[in-house]
Amino acid sequence: MKAPASSPRGLHDRRPRTSPVRRRVRTRTWALSLLLGAVLAVGLAGPWLAPHSATELVTTPYAAPAPAYPLGTDHLGRDVLSRLLLGAPPVVLTTVAATAVTVALGTLAGLSAALVAHRRPAAEGVVMRPFDALAALPPMLALLLVLTAVPSRAGVVLAACVAGAPLSARVIRAAALPVLRRPHVELSLARGEPWSWVLRHEVLPLVATTVLADAGLRFVFSLYLVSAAGFLGVGVSGFDWGTLVHEALPGAALQPWALLAPLTLIAFLAVGVNLLSDNVFRTEAEE
């Protein structure tokens, strides 16, 4: 008998190959995720890792780094590393809370504005004009006004929402409005689906990458406000990173590590989260 000829592989038999660019993006994403996760884990565990208390005087002021205090001491002789570790949880938790609330409010407002603009364009101003008025308020002025009335961690979160939610709403509205005009949305409405279901299941998944990218920006913005509050003396604790920067400035020439350490951590978190959200955005766009 004649052996059957081996048939060429059809298109349905071919496995999609991951491009080198996509592999590099995924590798960077995983590396950044692990690195940021490690830094955040160490920061949140700071109270258990700190070798000294935040107020303990370990040696003379402005002491150089030594095995007992690896980052030296501050202007009162307190361990810089211990204060850095003890100040991490309030900074990280407040920043994450402010980011989550800001993105949630901005996404809800943006989707609502897109829906109103799609159905009744003349009524869109009812939703967006109050947010536009808040967007005109400088972030530092909003921070000072809110903290004057609510001088606490909740005040910092509220200030971040007041200053950041209007910008998030604008971004999400611009991304959601074209999606609402797509045929599958019209088909869902023709089936009798309520608008809440359409926004949740048909629109939100298609703007998820935009929401994620905006969340990265809101995290940096919230971290900036949390650090600025500490620098101005109204921080979330007496030893958060903004407060450490403020205290280290007068003696920066004598003990630069006390200033460089909190600045480096703030910059690392801000840049790392932005790069991570950008890589995740690129991965989703390629898929």
Q: Where are the domains of the chain?
A: 75-286
List the chain residues with pLDDT less than 70: 1-26, 28-29, 32, 235, 278-287
For residue range 126-150, what is the model confidence (pLDDT) as tens digits? Answer: 778 888 888 888 888 888 889 888 8
- Which residues partner with 66 through β-bridges? 69
- The pLDDT score that the predictor gives to residue 134 is 84
- The pLDDT score that the predictor gives to residue 101 is 94
Question: Taking Cα atoms as reference points, which of 162, 154, 200 lies closest to residue 179?
Answer: 200
Tokens matching residue 60 = 């003379």
Report the distance separating Cα 4 and Cα 90, nearest Å: 71
- The pLDDT score that the predictor gives to residue 1 is 47
Distance of CA 135 to the CA centre of its chain: 19
- The pLDDT score that the predictor gives to residue 244 is 92
Residue 92 CB neighbours (<10 A): 21
Report the distance separating Cα 177 and Cα 186, nearest Å: 13
Give the homologous superfamily in CATH for domain 75-286. MetI-like (1.10.3720.10)
- The pLDDT score that the predictor gives to residue 25 is 59
- The pLDDT score that the predictor gives to residue 15 is 47
- DSSP per residue over 37-82, as a string? HHHHHHHHTHHHH-SS-SS-B-SSTTPPPBTTBTT-B-TTSBBHHH
Amino acid identity, position 252 = A
For residue 69, give the 3-state DSSP assignment: strand
Nearest-5° Cα angle at 275, 274 to 279? 120
- The pLDDT score that the predictor gives to residue 158 is 92
For residue range 207-251, what is the model confidence (pLDDT) as tens digits? Answer: 988 898 889 889 999 999 999 988 887 767 778 888 999 999 999
Q: What is the Cα Rg of the chain in Å? A: 25
Report the distance separating Cα 118 and Cα 129, nearest Å: 17
Tokens matching residue 46 = 């700071």
Q: Where are the alpha helices (DSSP H) in 69-123?
A: 80-119
- The pLDDT score that the predictor gives to residue 199 is 84
Report the distance separating Cα 244 and Cα 238, nearest Å: 9
Judge contact between 177 and 114, C-beta under 8 A.
yes
Report the distance separating Cα 181 and Cα 280, nearest Å: 26
Report the distance separating Cα 282 and Cα 197, nearest Å: 28
- The pLDDT score that the predictor gives to residue 28 is 65
- Which residues partner with 78 through β-bridges? 57
